[in-house]
Amino acid sequence: MPTLSVCATPDAGFWQIGDGGVAELYEKIDQHGGNYTVPCSLVGMDPRTAWTLDEEDDFPVTGFCAEMLLQIVSNMGAEWDCIVHFLPTYVRTHSARALVLG
């Protein structure tokens, strides 16, 4: 299955946990060594895969960009999936994409 890999930085209204949980998303990034990775099946207010009770503080990952990403991947076709790598700064996000794109 082809997978679209996206790098993002938390930003209120665009990428967050729940209702404005930018701090919570930054905590997750820190807890995961600077790269908190989430499959798109767990992104959005109505994710394809329900999170477990142990994960309820991690989700929902929401915001304008989250919903836009899900729509883009849906438009790409049923064979596509995606994954989001949350990084602590825009510079780290840009550098990570530059490494991937080579």
DSSP category for residue 19: T
Classify residue 26 by burial, with Cβ atoms within 10 Å: 0-12, 13-18, 19+. middle
Gyration radius of the chain over CA positions: 13
Residue 27 to residue 50: CA distance in whole angstroms: 21
Write out the two tokens for 49.
């895969």
Q: Which of 1-10, 55-64, 84-93 has the lowest mean pLDDT?
A: 55-64
pTM of the model: 0.84
Query: 12-66 pLDDT, tens per residue?
Result: 889 998 776 799 899 999 999 999 999 999 898 888 887 777 776 667 888 999 9
Contact assessment for residue 17 and residue 62, using Cβ atoms and an 8 Å cutoff: yes
